[in-house]
Structure 1
Amino acid sequence: MKEQQYNTLKEQISPKTPLAINCLKAFVVGGIICCVGQAISFFYMMFFDFTEKTVGNPTVATMVFLAMLLTGFGLYRKLGQFAGAGSAVPVTGFGNAVVSSAIEGKSEGFVLGVGSNMFKLAGAVILFGVVSAFFVTLVKLILVSVGVVSW
């Protein structure tokens, strides 16, 4: 009975979450981040002679760098508070998470604090990225050898 009373009281006191507004903010901010990434891609293709196939890596590196820079200045946190999930667009969200972890551990020193905190998160992401890339490549190799898709 106490748990039910607590839940009733919590629902009465807690502010209602404006779901539609939050979704709209996330959509708009995530879209703006993606548009910035596309603009960076176009910039690299126009001025540095990259092709559509080769422009991905420098664009991702630039987006991660920008997210890390904004995190260092404390601006990405404000963006995340405003946009919620919209600021967690995978590449920029990853950069933000890595630098946030590093900043958190700076009081413990560079090796045991910054380095270990940074790679707690990055190590897992890199591990699962490599493992998933392996399995996707394996599936594609099987599909190519069967003749379902072409290489």
Structure 2
Amino acid sequence: MDQQEYNEYIKRVTPVNPSWVNVCLAFFVGGVICTIGQMLTEWFLSMGMEKDAASAAMLLCLIGLSVLLTGLNLFPRLVKFGGAGALVPITGFANSVAAPAIEYKKHGQVFGIGCKIFTIAGPVILYGVFSSWIFGLIYWLFT
């Protein structure tokens, strides 16, 4: 296969992803998730909760809904449709913890769920905590 044939093959098998459509879908899905979060917060506030408690309750509801949708195998469909709009909010992080746990449960509680639950989210947690510690140390040294 020469270079021209190879380039034609690459053009033929590479999927075409219209960026503006993906951006619009991500904006829509992320906006819907944030709107649901705001509606939950307002509902909890109307029930007499303080602002911090209402925000925490809303986060718990969104995390629970994300884990439920992951367990029902609906969250991957939402991500396929809305891309980063579904993955960037806290719902995506909850999915990244729940999905490996569901996938590896057949290997048992310890070697399946216990060992694999943070396969995806673990590096995010590790580097997030480590970098905040480093930046805190730098801030402390220079102030």
Identify whether the pair has TM-score above 0.5, normalized to the shorter chain: yes
Structure 2 unaligned residues grouped into runs of 5+: none
Report which stretch shifted further, 74-83 or 5-14: 5-14
Amino acid at match of 2:103: E
2:86 is aligned to: 87
Match of 1:120, SS state, is coil
In the alignment, does 2:55 pair up with 1:43?
A: no
Q: How does 1:90-101 map to 2 (within 5 A)?
A: 90-101=89-100
C-alpha distance in 2 between matches for 1:142 and 1:55: 36
Structure 2: which amino acid aligns with 1:25?
L
CA distance in 1, matches of 2:141, 2:36: 37
Moved more, 11-20 or 112-121: 11-20
Distance 2:109 2:75 in 1: 23
How do residues 128-139 of structure 1 correspond to structure 2 at under 5 angstroms? 128-135=127-134
Higher relative contact order (CA 8 A, sep 6+): 2
Unaligned runs of 5+ in 1: 146-151
Could you state the TM-score of these two structures normalised by the residue count of structure 1?
0.78
Amino acid at match of 1:115: G
The worse-fitting range, judged by mean Cα deviation, of 121-130 and 107-116 is 121-130
How many residue pairs end up in the alignment?
143
Question: 2:121 aligns to what?
Answer: 122
RMSD: 2.5
How far 1:120 moved relative to its partner? 2.7
* Alignment partner, residue 8 of structure 2: 8
Structure 2 CA distance for aligned equivalents of residues 86 and 111 of structure 1 = 33
- Aligned equivalents of 1:10 and 1:47: distance in 2? 58
- Please report how far the alpha carbon of residue 138 of structure 1 lies from its aligned counterpart in structure 2 after TM superposition: 5.4
Report % sequence identity. Answer: 36
